[in-house]
Amino acid sequence: GLFRLPDPDSSWNGTGYEEFNAAHWDGEKWEYISFENGAPIESIWYFSDNDIWIAGIPKHWNGEKWTKYHLWDMGILDIDDGSVEYIWASSPDDMYFVGGEGTIVHYDGKNFTKIESGTEIDLKDIDGTPDGRRIYICGHNIIVPSRSVVLELVDGKVREFYYVDDLYQEGTYGYVGSLSLKGHYVYFSTPAGIWRYDFENKISVITDIGGTELGDLFVNDYNDIIGFSGGMGYVHYNGRDWKEVYRLPYVYAGYNGGHYRNGIAAMVGYTYDLRGIIAIGFHKK
């Protein structure tokens, strides 16, 4: 994202603080990295050490240097389009960037193309099948008029899959906060619970998780689902029950984002006195 550390001798720019976008832990110490001065980095997508993308304004690392793609200056996006904040890719030549005001941009390894989404709702999560042929995107706006949408892309064609104009509308799932796709199922986190949709058989199932609203959702299998909750909590589903495994011991903590991969979970957030928090957990076997 964007965070500041004390710079006692003011050698950076005379403010007494230095700005960074990322912190890398090598097992012994932290390394602080600056990709973009004065702008937050919203997400990162890693193919290899020589092929890394970050979003806010897309930038690519080829192992030697960063290349910036200012989509507005390039004529890909208009001034009214939002920034692209989330990335999903099936391969280096099949990438999607989504973000504010319903913005979707596709990258084919050479060129960027804007995809008309049909919505102005801020898009906040994306996942797809390994071959890239089916993709789901969800988003919501909290500020009135509050709305939520799920878009479905099949072979590059967009359709509105779900829409609600009240984040807690009775008789609906409510807003969709995050999603995760596994096999022929896509899982959505909603106020009603975890909504699982079988897109091959077109069957929906809802699982109550006791009112916990999740900021991110990661599905490893039907009986191994991980969610991060808004107060920096970590919850797990074993196929029968949902259980809160961990919650940071801060009364006032906010959740910004997280990821789960290869048995390692990481959450990032902040305390309300503006201290950054990183929590890392390991999946017991």
- Report the pLDDT value the prediction gives residue 257, as an integer from 0 to 100: 86
- Report the pLDDT value the prediction gives residue 15, as an integer from 0 to 100: 77
Q: How many whole angstroms separate alpha carbon 275 and alpha carbon 278?
A: 10
CA distances from 88 to 71, 110, 122 (A): 17, 16, 16
Amino acid letter, residue 80:
D
- Report the pLDDT value the prediction gives residue 59, as an integer from 0 to 100: 92
Q: For residue 116, what are its two tokens?
A: 């008309």
Closest to 122 (Cα-Cα) out of 191, 169, 201, 177: 177
pTM, whole model, 2 decimals? 0.91
For 210-246, what is each residue's pLDDT tens digit?
Answer: 877 888 999 999 899 999 987 788 889 988 888 888 8
- Report the pLDDT value the prediction gives residue 184, as an integer from 0 to 100: 96
For 41-69, what is each residue's pLDDT tens digit?
Answer: 888 999 999 999 999 889 999 999 989 99
- Report the pLDDT value the prediction gives residue 34, as an integer from 0 to 100: 83
Let me know: does 5 contact 21? Beta carbons within 8 Å: no
Q: Computed from CA positions of residues 109, 111, 116, 120, in that sequence, does the dihedral angle turn out positive or negative?
A: positive
Q: Which residues of the chain have pLDDT under 50?
A: none
- Report the pLDDT value the prediction gives residue 118, as an integer from 0 to 100: 95
Q: How many whole angstroms separate alpha carbon 102 and alpha carbon 121?
A: 5
- Report the pLDDT value the prediction gives residue 177, as an integer from 0 to 100: 92
Let me know: does 130 contact 90? Beta carbons within 8 Å: yes
Q: How many whole angstroms separate alpha carbon 10 and alpha carbon 14?
A: 4
